[in-house]
Amino acid sequence: MPEPFKNLFNLPLIEQLGAHLQKRWRPFDNKGFIRVASQDFDALELKQRSLQITAALEKYLPEDFLQAREVLLAALHPEDDVDLRGLKMDAQGVRGWAIMPMTDYVARRGTEYFDESMDALQQMTRRFTAEFAVRHFINADLKRSLKHIQRWASSKNYHVRRLASEGLRPRLPWGQQIPALIADPRPALPVLEKLRDDPADYVRRSVANHLNDIAKDHPQLICEVMQSWYASGSPERQRMLRHACRTLVKKGDPQILAALGYTSANEVKKNLVLEDFSLGNPRPKVGESLPLSLTLRSTHKKPQTLVIDYAVYYRRANGELSPKIFKWKNLQLQPGERLNLLKNHSLKKVTTRAYYPGIHRIALQINGALLATVDFELCQ
């Protein structure tokens, strides 16, 4: 069984973090810090563990924020322009998951020192990420934050450039929303335009996810961006924009489908014959896979570019059905061509979803057009 995600924060991490801080500031009470930071740790989830470490930092770092900031920055690992995922702390300094409680400390204690705090976050993000903590400052003063973020977008370090996009995402999962940018995302567009052709795929993926956030509230704006950015873009930019438009493609937005060269939803309904959409097992059990079978035939005189998705309507605790869309396949169907597709949809237990027995539903959609639904009974 895989290790629980919360165990990324553990006693050895706390001990190493405390040792680095004491090395940079001798009065630091490392024993007290370890005791407070690790109290009842087994009962806490990941974010709770991080916040408890932050609370211990508040208790044992210098009362003066600027002095505490210098201690934290001095404890950082030497900068490495490398992929930080999976990297851990070592004898050289703090990096990896231990950075999260440090960035939260800056967000909680550094509000009166705006510029110094923003600078600290851009240094910390080079060793992990500050995408959650920076949102406190963006929500406090968007205009002032953008002055820093616009500079970050030109940084030589791709982790800092990614923070410029990721930190501004209006609907970042697990992060504070940014209501001002949900209402009007245009102030972020100059930053995204600067990063749209970034040499790092890591940064371009963030731009795509940011644009997809915007599409949920302002689809017309994303259509305008597509019209301006897509045709003249490199293959990398076009790939990024296709990923950015995934929500609108699933909805069958006609402007986006046309801009990306996909067949319209109306044409799909007219020129596709659905010969089969069925389930290999109408009564699967939790933990099994659900076999899906699909047969299509084109009646169009021209090739059709298709995005085939399916939505699983999961039963919730109150008995209502809630859809989750999954990608199946992108393809081009030739005139008169018949296509058969098979797929196994996993019903294995995951931490992000609770399964409830009873009737569920699967809906087939192609280029946003709903073509068929079929029910199945999930058994324990």
Q: Tell me the per-residue pLDDT of 25-70, one tens digit each, with 9 for 90 and over.
A: 999 999 999 999 999 999 999 999 999 999 999 999 999 999 999 9
Angle (deg, nearest 10), helices 158-166 and 142-152: 150
- Largest pairwise CA distance in the chain: 79
Structure tokens that stand for 211 in this block: 């644009």
Report the DSSP beta bridge partners of residue 332: 305
Tell whether the torsion through CA atoms of 347, 350, 356 and 359 is positive or negative.
negative
Instruction: Report the share of the chain in percent with pLDDT over 70.
Output: 98
What pLDDT shows up at residue 86? 67
What pLDDT shows up at residue 261? 85
What pLDDT shows up at residue 54? 98
CA–CA gap between residue 337 and residue 24 (Å, rounded): 69
Cα-Cα-Cα-Cα dihedral of 29, 132, 46, 206, to 10°? Answer: -130
Residue listed under structure tokens 């296709």: 242
CA–CA gap between residue 162 and residue 123 (Å, rounded): 13
- To the nearest whole number, what is the mean pLDDT of the chain? 94
Residue 80 clears pLDDT 80, i.e. is over it: no
Q: Does 265-378 carry CATH code 3.30.70.3450?
A: no
Which one has a higher pLDDT value, 4 or 220? 220
pLDDT in tens, 219-269: 999 999 998 999 889 999 999 999 999 999 888 888 898 888 889 888 999
CA–CA gap between residue 109 and residue 69 (Å, rounded): 10
Closest CA to 249 of 364, 369, 372, 371: 369
Residue 87, phi-psi category: left (phi > 0), alpha (psi -120 to 50), beta (remainder): beta
CA–CA gap between residue 21 and residue 54 (Å, rounded): 13
Distance set, CA 259 to CA 122, 184, 234, 253 (Å) = 36, 23, 15, 10
Chain CA centroid to CA 314, Å: 22
pLDDT in tens, 314-362: 999 999 999 999 999 999 999 999 999 999 999 998 878 899 999 999 9
- Span 197-202, average pLDDT: 97
Per-domain residue ranges of the chain: 1-130, 265-378
Residue 91: which pLDDT band, with cuts at 50, 70 and 90?
A: very high
What pLDDT shows up at residue 372? 96
Residue 104 clears pLDDT 80, i.e. is over it: yes
Evaluate whether 326 touches 312 at the Cβ level (below 8 Å): yes
Residue 380 clears pLDDT 90, i.e. is over it: no
Residue 208 clears pLDDT 80, i.e. is over it: yes
What pLDDT shows up at residue 2? 62
